[in-house]
Structure 1
Amino acid sequence: MDTLSLPLLNKDDPRFQLKVENRLKNIFVTQIEDHGKEEGENVKHIPVITESSNRILKTGVNTLQRTLVLKTQVRLDEVNRQLIQKRLEFNDRMQALEQRRAALLEKQAEIKERAMKFEKFVEENEVKRQRALKKYQQEKKENELREVEKSKLHEELEQFQIRHQQLKGRVDKYKIYEKYMMKILDLLPEAYSEYGSDSLVMPIIRRHETLSITQQDLLQRLTSLTEELHQGQCNLDSLKLEHSTNRLMSNKELSELRTQWDQIREKNEQMEMTLYNHHDQSRNQIEEIGCLLLAVKNIAQQCHLQHYGPLHEMDSLTMMDMIKEFILETLDTERRALQITDSSSESTKSRRHRGRKGPALTVNSSSKVNLKSSSKTSQNELLSSSKTM
């Protein structure tokens, strides 16, 4: 919204100039001075102003109302001028913004169009890629099939070439016969073909046919014989292998049986040695038993007691019982004799104390000597008999 512009004022107009005459010297008092100082004659004291300038202009006594209006008018003109300038600047900026917005919209539209074109281009490229990929796969399969066909055709070509070489060799082989026949035909007379079947060529042809048939038969027999030979060779190899395995198994069994035979022989030798040892031990035992029996008989003859009966009717146990009884009786007799000798020695001692000497002492001493000698002889006999045993 536009505002009404005020008329411009001329600052050089004398009406708008403020003239103030003040002949006195104005002094602003800021500090309180002493009253003892002298004041000048031409000095006018002005009190300190504490109010604002607007307040002074509004309420000042010496300020004219017209001057205030003019100043306000000047300020208003300045503000209007600045406002107009700002509006012009704002309009320029708005126009620039509109231009930039239009350019931005055009650019956005262009970018959208380019994006749509690019998306369309990408879709077309994707379709082309899929199409090219399918075409590549189809061509790859076709190439593989063609390679297989090519390999088959190459093999057939090689077979045909081999067959061609074989046929060429056969042609070269039989060409000499053709040359020979042509030479024969050249040498034959002109009317030779009139003879027909009685000519000399037919037997040769028939002979050739028979020879070819026999050759085929021989070839068949040769192939059958080679197959039989191969089969026989295979059978021979299998028989050789079986024979070698059987021989190995038999050698293994033979070695096992030989080891068993060696073990059994060692056991037999050990058993024979133990048997010989047992025989030796039994023979020694028999000899010892015989010696013992002889010793028992000898001792029984020396220790014979009448109540046991004759000696040749006794067995070994009875003889040993008799010897035992005899030894016990002898020991008992010796013990009694020793007791008697002890008692007699005590009596002789008592008699010696009494001073008596008589024939009884001699009798006792002689009996004691006889008993000791008999006991010693019996002991010596027993020791000798035990040594002989």
Structure 2
Amino acid sequence: MATTSLPVLDSSDPRLKLKVENRKRNVFVTQAEDTRHKKEENVNHIPVVTETSSRLLEAGVNTLQRTLVLKKQAELVEVDQQLALKRQEFKNRVEALARRRSELEIKQQQTKDRAMKFEKFVAENEVKRRRALMKYEAARELNISKQREIEDLTEQLKQLRARQQVLKARMAKYKIYEDYLMKTLDYLPSTYPDNGSESVVMPIIRRHETLSITHRELLQRLGRLEEEVEQRQRQLQIMKQEHSIKKLMSNKELSELQNELETLKEKNKQAEVNLLMEQGLSREKVEEVGCLLMAINNLAEQCHLPAYGPLENINILTKMDMVKEYILDKADTERRARRLMESGSAMTCRTALTDKRERGSMKSMGSKTQIKSPSKVSKKSETMS
């Protein structure tokens, strides 16, 4: 600024305050002391200024130039102070704005970091969720299979317990016979042959063992057959489901094929209509061609030229060429006749001009001679034509 060259003044500077001392009045020494302090009238005293400099600067128009300079300097000081305050305020605001911007950038970076961490966390959670779902599915399938095995084993245990109860009842039933046989063996003499080959009871026992083994085998076979029947039933159910699915698919394909058939029928109908229209047009074309051939044959009969031979042996193109040649010949003949007529009319005009000249030269000839001359000219023109 241009005002920075001036000295900076402070309003609190005591030098800027105007001080006026209360001087004593100038008196002569010869004046008596008792009359010095008497109040005199019509004496102009110098007033003592006790106001501040700013108040004095705001005085009237009769202020001095130095006072105006002081006033301007005071205003300049105030403006500089306000400007310094504004600059400091602007600087503080800029610094605050820079701090806020840096804080905002830090917060944005922190937000980005948090977002990246959250996305990473979400991705990891998604991977963990998928793994957990896979483990859950595997565990559920394993649990289902184990549950089926447990049910099957429970059913087998029930069957075995039922069979055990049946066998226990049978053993209790046949216990009396066993006791009877054991008592019978006790009463037999020691010399009784108890060898297996000579005993009568051993074949019965072996037969019973054979029958029991056969019975067990039959029971096992029956169990296998039941399992096969159940498996076949499951396969039958699966085949029924597949058959129903195939049936639905076949019905769907059949409906689509029926729709295509209806579409093809509509197209065939449209094609038949178009074909009938084309046939009608072709008939009209055939009729037009027939009429054209008849017209060509009639023209050929009228324009027959002996140079082309008999009319029956000539094809259509040759007939058209013959008609064309005949028409061209007639046109040539007509042109020649017109030329002759035009030449005759020209000769007539020349003769009339010569007659007029003769009539102008022969004024003494009578009207009778003048009448005969045009009659002769008309006769000549008739002969030329």
TM-score range, shorter chain: 0.3 to 0.5
Higher relative contact order (CA 8 A, sep 6+): 1
TM-score, normalised to structure 1, is: 0.37
TM-score, normalised to structure 2, is: 0.37
Larger Rg: 1
